Chain A
């Protein structure tokens, strides 16, 4: 099995990635307009490092803030969706390789997915 058809998998994967980027840029632009509208005149403070507030650090916190209509929350949601796009691509490859009955690569995809999950949901 020197060569296996992965064409259909590649086309869907390519589409998934591009749609992900377009959606994220859309959410980001909405957040940007809201942020500049509400906070554009405020002083930009970017000195030193204090770390973001707890709400902007966790997946649940970000989603809750975004649903409340917070500009920072919506921007952070776009960033989170951007992180999720390659993760979705790996999750999709689990299904794609399962359909091809290529269990080795189902395993490989699962390992990569677990590592991504460790970064996103672990305590870092």
Chain B
């Protein structure tokens, strides 16, 4: 099934050795990690189009490499957020049941799906990411709601540090846990099928469905991304989707890029950058769908 999907003629005109290929891929991944961190949209959404469209890599290898990079970026930054007390580790763990189930199902589905189908689905996710309201623009986390019995019984309600608040922290309560759980299952499915963190969907579940404060939602989502990706990465490893020559430059590049992005975040004008990034993602989405339909992926 693999040979028929990739058009060999498309790639034979580019003869590269491993050194040049690694350097170019490292540079591309660095840029993807940088943009992903600066815009808050994550690097995964750029890594896979970069590998498939620019480097002509089969989408299944691209998914494998991206998953490892996603785990690295999520774990690196989650470490700092957890330490600072922003992430809610109980909510994160409870919902990881949903994302892991989704991810295992997604990985099983993806290995049975033609590459062109994956490309089209990926393109749709890109279009959604480009058009969805950004995290800062929504600002839904309004007044705290009343604690419900489930949240209290399971100890899910919490606080997060806020220097301007009277006690140095703000209290919040969780609501609609089953709805959040369901949306997290979908986030896991997309992550497992496409090798992305699907942070946008996770934030949607935490912020919109469960009514958590924005800062808690983004950091808890980030905390969960690594575990979600690890669930499907194991399946991809067994299936032979994780290629050392791709994983190496992609992981090192995105980690370096996201570290740089986190440093730059304070200085950069992220609003105009986010707009530019949306245009890029939209264009990549159209290209992925087009390539998928034409059977070029």
Are A and B part of the same complex?
yes
**Which A residues are within 8 Å of any B CB, using their own CB?**
1-4, 6-7, 9-11, 13-18, 20-21, 24-25, 28-29, 31-32, 35-36, 39-44, 46-53, 56-58, 71-72, 75-76, 78-80, 82-87, 89-90, 93, 102, 104-105, 108-109, 111-112, 115-116, 118-124
Q: Are B57 and A40 in contact (CB under 8 A)?
A: no
Min C-beta distance of B180 to chain A, whole Å: 15
A115 close to B101 (CB less than 8 A)? yes
Q: How far is the CB of B295 from chain A (nearest CB, A)?
A: 13
A49 surroundings in chain B (CB, below 8 A): 2-3, 5-6, 58, 60-61, 115
A105 to B62, CA, bound (A): 35
B12 at interface, CB cutoff 8 A: yes
Nearest-CB distance from B105 to chain A (Å)? 11
Contacts of A120 in B (CB 8 A): 230, 234, 237
B226 pairs with A40, CB closer than 8 A: no
Given known pairs A21-B76, A46-B57, A108-B97, the reply for A10 and B230 (CB within 8 Å) is no
Tell me whether chain B's interface is mostly helix, strand or loop, or mixed.
Answer: helix
A6 lies within 8 A of B89 (CB): yes
26 contacts between A and B (CB under 8 A): A1-B155, A3-B155, A14-B78, A16-B79, A31-B244, A35-B244, A35-B248, A40-B22, A41-B17, A44-B16, A44-B18, A44-B21, A46-B56, A49-B115, A79-B244, A83-B71, A83-B237, A89-B226, A89-B227, A108-B97, A112-B97, A115-B97, A116-B100, A118-B104, A119-B103, A120-B234
Q: B152 at the A/B interface (Cβ < 8 Å)? A: yes
**Contacts A3-B155, A39-B18, A108-B97 known; A50 to B235 CB distance under 8 Å?**
no
How many residues of B sit at the interface, in one of the four size bands? Answer: 35 or more
Residues A42 and B243 in contact, CB atoms below 8 Å apart: no
With A86-B71, A89-B226, A124-B107 as contacts: A79 and B242 at CB distance below 8 Å: yes
B178 within 8 A of A: no
Selected from A3, A56, A90, A121, the residue in CB contact (under 8 A) with B93 is A90
Whether the pair A121, B234 counts as a contact (CB closer than 8 A) is: yes
Chain A residues near B15 (CB-CB < 8 A): 43
Say if the beta carbon of B239 comes within 8 Å of chain A: yes
- Whether A119 contacts B233 in the complex (CB less than 8 A), given A21-B79, A35-B18, comes out as yes
- Give CA–CA (A78, B95) in the complex, Å: 27
In whole angstroms, what is the CA distance A49 to B17 when docked? 19
**Residues in A whose Cβ lies below 8 Å from that of B115:** 49
- How far is it, in angstroms, between the C-alpha of A86 and the C-alpha of B226 when the chains are bound? 6
B10: nearest residue on chain A (CB-CB)?
A47
Q: Report the separation of the CA atoms of residues A52 and B74 in the bound assembly, to the nearest whole angstrom.
A: 26
In the complex where A49-B61, A51-B239 touch, is A115 in contact with B90 (Cβ < 8 A)? no
A-B contact count (CB 8 A): 250
Q: How far is the CA of A104 from the CA of B90 in the complex (A)?
A: 10
Interface 1/0 per residue, B236-256 and A, CB below 8 Å:
011111111111110110010
Against A, the Cβ 8 Å flags (1 = close, 0 = not) of B1-14 are 01101101001100
Cα–Cα, bound, A111→B115 (Å) = 32
Chain A positions within 8 Å of B243 at CB level: 46, 52
Residues in A with CB closer than 8 Å to B103 are 119
> Which residues from chain A contact B291 at a C-beta distance below 8 Å?
none
Are A108's CB and B94's CB within 8 A?
A: yes
Contact yes or no, A112 B248, CB < 8 A: no
Known: A51-B2, A79-B244, A120-B234. 17 other contacts (CB 8 A): A1-B152, A10-B82, A10-B83, A18-B80, A21-B76, A21-B79, A40-B19, A43-B15, A44-B18, A49-B6, A79-B242, A108-B94, A112-B97, A116-B227, A119-B230, A122-B238, A124-B108
Nearest CB on B from A87, distance (A): 6
Does B68 lie at the interface of the complex (its beta carbon under 8 Å from any beta carbon of A)?
yes
B203 at the A interface (CB under 8 A): no
Name which residue of chain A comes closest to B90, CB basis.
Answer: A105
